[in-house]
Amino acid sequence: MRILLALLFIGLTVAAFATGPIRTLAEEKATAEIAAPIHPVPPSESCLSPADLREAVADKRVIEPVAAIRAARTVIPRAEIQRARLCRHEDGLAYLLTALRRDGQFVHVLVDATTGRVIGQ
């Protein structure tokens, strides 16, 4: 029983360190508001199909969705990414990421598909 509790404690400790620094929700909101300017979210009709997304990634025209998710995590570190779409935005392409924050709210994050920079929230 002691071994089981020790393993559980070690596992929870490793998970806590893996998720990054523990901050309050107010700190997360303040960081998100400062880090990314607000841009309008593109309508879903202007988004590419999954086949077009795969083709754009294969041709190296855009970064991979995983890289866009990593960039979005700098703005919303403890949110769970629900969806990633490649959409037309202004004069280029951008990833529209939908994330579920820990407080239950959905957040949209725009990441430039060529540079990997967060361009809006």
What are the pLDDT digits (tens) for 59-101? 888 999 999 999 998 898 888 999 999 998 888 899 999 999 9
Domain segments of the chain: what residues? Answer: 2-120
Cβ(110)–Cβ(89) below 8 Å: yes
44 CB-near residues (< 8 Å, 6+ apart): 85, 87
> In whole angstroms, what is the distance from residue 94 CA to residue 36 CA?
14
More confident residue, 31 or 112: 112
Q: What's residue 23's pLDDT?
A: 59
Report residue 92: phi and psi, to 5°: -155, -155
Residue 34 has pLDDT above 50, yes or no: no
Residue 41 has pLDDT above 60, yes or no: no
More confident residue, 112 or 4: 112
List the CATH code of the domain at 2-120.
Answer: 3.10.450.40
Q: What's residue 36's pLDDT?
A: 46
Q: State the chain's mean pLDDT as an integer.
A: 79
Report residue 98: phi and psi, to 5°: -105, 125
pLDDT class of 121 with cuts at 50, 70, 90: confident
For the whole prediction, is pTM greater than 0.85? no
